[in-house]
Amino acid sequence: MYKYDDYDHAIVQARVAQFRGQTERYLAGALSDDEFRPLRLQNGLYIQRHGPMLRLAVPYGLLSAAQLRRFADIARRYDRGYGHFTTRHNLQLNWVKLPEVPAILAELAQEELHAIQTSGNCIRNVTTDHFAGVAADEIADPRPWAEILRQWSTFNPEFAYLPRKFKVAISGATEDRAAIQVHDLGLQVAKNEAGEFGFKVYAGGGLGRTPLLGQVVREFLPWQHLLSYTEALVRVFNRYGRRDNAYKARIKILVKALGREEFARQVEEEWAHLQDGPSTLTQAEVDRVSRQFAAPAYETLAEDDLCHLAHLREDKAFARWVERNVQKHKVAGYAAVTLSLKKPGAAPGDASAEQMEAAADLAERYSFGEIRVSHEQNLILADVPQRELYTVWHRAKAAGLASPTVGLIQDLITCPGGDFCGLANARSLPIAAAIQERFEDLDYQHDIGEFELNISGCMNSCGHHHLGAIGILGVDKNGEEWYQVTLGGRQGNAARIGEVIGRSFAAAEVPDVIERLIAAYLAHRHADERFIDTLDRIGEEPFRNAAYPHPHQSRRVANG
């Protein structure tokens, strides 16, 4: 993974000193709340229900074992011994104290960690595929490009005060596992007809109040121009994005208002002036960064390990875990393991300090010392020899990291919701817990099969509810928590925004509604059909009837 040189260290250290000064001036009354807010947000610091929440950056989801241990240590000493991994790879601490934040940042910096631009109206953490570098369908490793973008976007002086936040995701594989079409800027690694390497560029995707898929603004961008073109695109946004209404300030609204072609034309016009300028990437720089993501020293192994095959035959629970939590690897004899953070009884995405340390230990012993965070809020050991899987499973189980439910309904995605977040309209975690409890039976879960269920506590959509086969959105009705259900969302290459099924439900109704929707799916599905396939084939009506057994209760609402 990328190792800091003296420049990187100096820049992050300078940020620690800068933020220490800002915090001191705020606490001394020299900076007002309004002046301090944008500054602290650009350092990931929110003021939440219980006090400050600090969002720590995990650039493109990659951590060393030492870094994860540092997170554990910080969580234990400055917080309540746990943290929450988000849908954008980051780690949130919910109980930090403002005067201690500079000290936390100083300790993080020693391990090449920081909270730079994890919030605020700036370019945020670049996210990517959690199987980068090991997926069989990879065209090229997206991580060097994500690192190049990280550096370009870090303290970019022109773009510190954008109309709204700006999120970039990059995928290097043929199957998109980075949700690039719901990002402000989505980059898909591609090759043109001449075999040259570059990117297909999507812009204007996003969830929130106005969910939209990104549009293709450039079919092929040669790699040399990644930074200059991105600069042109963000400049068009900075100059012309709306600033009068925070809900209409994302780039998606600008792209929609101008239309794809006109937006793309304006970017091209801007780019014509920047093209071939100093920010044009050099082969030397790409090589320098790429070397740091070189494949680890894999052993030469047989495709299948005989002991592993024996364990699969003899231990049904292990086989079930392998079926769900172990992914194919491009190197023979290796596998990618998902350590589940979806243990019933704990908030999805939460990890205790002990779990972080256990994951760090596993990474160090069995996976070249690296861990990834997935946008599904799990941890990944990307390079585990097949022969070690049985041991890894036992140890993961002991640490509560082996729920054999990756991709199943229990592997649901959720934001922290009203229990923690100051923006939320409703709580997410009790809904998640009630659904996980309802579907706790493993046979039932496996029978239902692959299922994406997403929960957001408000329209900001941090739980990506629009992308769930079933999505649940917390809404506020006269001070009460209600939950709206969407159907038919999906991520990946055929990304689609789910649609609202009807009037919202009280919290206590939600597990029943979900169960009836799933019963309708099980009743109608053909073999090997996923929920969304059945929905596509038979339409929404049978599902609406299941959700609202008493017809007068059903009422169409537009985004309401």
In a 3-state reduction of DSSP, which class is residue 499? strand
- In the bound state with another protein, the residue whose beta carbon lies nearer, of 283 and 559, is 283
Q: Which stretch binds another protein (CB under 8 A): 165-173, 277-285, 331-339, 455-463?
A: 277-285
- In the bound state with another protein, the residue whose beta carbon lies nearer, of 10 and 27, is 10
Using rule CB under 8 A, residue 273 touches another protein? yes
Residues forming a β-bridge with 350 = 84
**DSSP classification of residue 380:** E
Q: Give me the least distance between CB of 26 and another protein, in Å please.
A: 11
Q: How many residues comprise the chain?
A: 560
- In the bound state with another protein, the residue whose beta carbon lies nearer, of 115 and 455, is 115
What is the C-alpha separation between 142 and 132, in angstroms, rounded? 7
Q: Give me the least distance between CB of 14 and another protein, in Å please.
A: 5
Using rule CB under 8 A, residue 394 touches another protein? no
- In the bound state with another protein, the residue whose beta carbon lies nearer, of 60 and 159, is 159
Q: Give me the least distance between CB of 44 and another protein, in Å please.
A: 16
Residues forming a β-bridge with 128 = 170
Residues forming a β-bridge with 483 = 474, 505
- In the bound state with another protein, the residue whose beta carbon lies nearer, of 25 and 524, is 25
- In the bound state with another protein, the residue whose beta carbon lies nearer, of 18 and 460, is 18
- In the bound state with another protein, the residue whose beta carbon lies nearer, of 16 and 347, is 16
Q: Give me the least distance between CB of 285 and another protein, in Å please.
A: 4
Using rule CB under 8 A, residue 290 touches another protein? no
Beta pairing, strands 127-128 & 168-171: parallel
Structural tokens at position 29: 């009354």
Q: By CB under 8 A, name the one of 4, 24, 30, 276 that touches another protein.
A: 30
What is the C-alpha separation between 387 and 396, in angstroms, rounded? 15
516-520 contacts, C-beta under 8 A, 24 or more apart: 516/546, 516/547, 516/549, 517/470, 517/485, 517/487, 517/543, 517/546, 517/547, 518/409, 518/448, 519/546, 520/545, 520/546
Q: Give me the least distance between CB of 326 and another protein, in Å please.
A: 38
Compute the chain's Rg from CA coordinates: 23
Q: Give me the least distance between CB of 136 and another protein, in Å please.
A: 31
What is the C-alpha separation between 111 and 341, in angstroms, rounded? 24
Q: Which stretch binds another protein (CB under 8 A): 31-39, 127-135, 175-183, 332-340?
A: 31-39
- In the bound state with another protein, the residue whose beta carbon lies nearer, of 272 and 309, is 272
Q: By CB under 8 A, name the one of 3, 29, 194, 278 that touches another protein.
A: 278
Instruction: Give the orientation angle of helix 143-153 with respect to helix 283-291, to 10 degrees.
Output: 110
Residues forming a β-bridge with 481 = 476
Which residues neighbour 326 within 8 Å (Cβ) at sequence distance 6 or greater?
335, 336, 337, 338, 389
Structural tokens at position 234: 């963000």
In a 3-state reduction of DSSP, which class is residue 461? coil
Q: By CB under 8 A, name the one of 76, 80, 243, 524 that touches another protein.
A: 243
Q: Which stretch binds another protein (CB under 8 A): 28-36, 125-133, 216-224, 359-367?
A: 28-36
Count the residues of the shown chain that bind another protein, applying the rule CB under 8 A.
40
- In the bound state with another protein, the residue whose beta carbon lies nearer, of 19 and 543, is 19
Using rule CB under 8 A, residue 284 touches another protein? yes
What is the C-alpha separation between 489 and 213, in angstroms, rounded? 11
What is the C-alpha separation between 140 and 128, in angstroms, rounded? 12
Using rule CB under 8 A, residue 265 touches another protein? no
Q: By CB under 8 A, name the one of 22, 171, 188, 327 that touches another protein.
A: 22
Using rule CB under 8 A, residue 85 touches another protein? no
Using rule CB under 8 A, residue 301 touches another protein? no
Question: Interface residues for another protein in 146-175 (CB under 8 A)?
Answer: 148, 151-152, 154-162
Instruction: Give the orientation angle of helix 65-78 with respect to helix 353-366, to 10 degrees.
Output: 170
Q: Give me the least distance between CB of 228 and another protein, in Å please.
A: 10
What is the C-alpha separation between 341 and 327, in angstroms, rounded? 17
Using rule CB under 8 A, residue 288 touches another protein? yes
Structural tokens at position 469: 């086969």
Question: Interface residues for another protein in 212-241 (CB under 8 A)?
Answer: 227, 235, 238-239
H/E segment holding residue 147 = helix 143-153
Q: Which stretch binds another protein (CB under 8 A): 123-131, 138-146, 276-284, 463-471?
A: 276-284
- In the bound state with another protein, the residue whose beta carbon lies nearer, of 239 and 265, is 239
- In the bound state with another protein, the residue whose beta carbon lies nearer, of 91 and 116, is 116
Q: Give me the least distance between CB of 160 and another protein, in Å please.
A: 5
Find out whether 108 and 56 touch, Cβ atoms under 8 Å: yes
Q: Which stretch binds another protein (CB under 8 A): 273-281, 299-307, 402-410, 474-482?
A: 273-281
Q: Give me the least distance between CB of 154 and another protein, in Å please.
A: 6
What's the number of CA atoms in the CB half-sphere (13 Å) around residue 363?
A: 26
Question: What is the 3 state secondary structure string of 123-185?
Answer: ECCCEECCCCCCCCCECCCCHHHHHHHHHHHCCCHHHCCCCCCECEEEECECCCCCCHHHCCE
Using CA atoms, how far residue 70 sits from 63, 243, 505, in Å, is: 10, 39, 42
- In the bound state with another protein, the residue whose beta carbon lies nearer, of 108 and 406, is 108
- In the bound state with another protein, the residue whose beta carbon lies nearer, of 5 and 541, is 5
Using rule CB under 8 A, residue 285 touches another protein? yes
Q: Give me the least distance between CB of 127 and another protein, in Å please.
A: 19
Instruction: Give the orientation angle of helix 306-314 with respect to helix 389-398, to 10 degrees.
Output: 50
- In the bound state with another protein, the residue whose beta carbon lies nearer, of 273 and 556, is 273
* Cα–Cα nearest to 197, from 149, 254, 148, 139: 139
Other CB atoms within a 10 A radius of the CB of residue 290 amount to 17
User: Interface with another protein by CB under 8 A: which residues?
Assistant: 5, 7, 10-11, 14-15, 18, 22, 30-31, 35, 38-39, 121, 148, 151-152, 154-162, 227, 235, 238-239, 243, 273, 278-279, 281-282, 284-285, 287-288
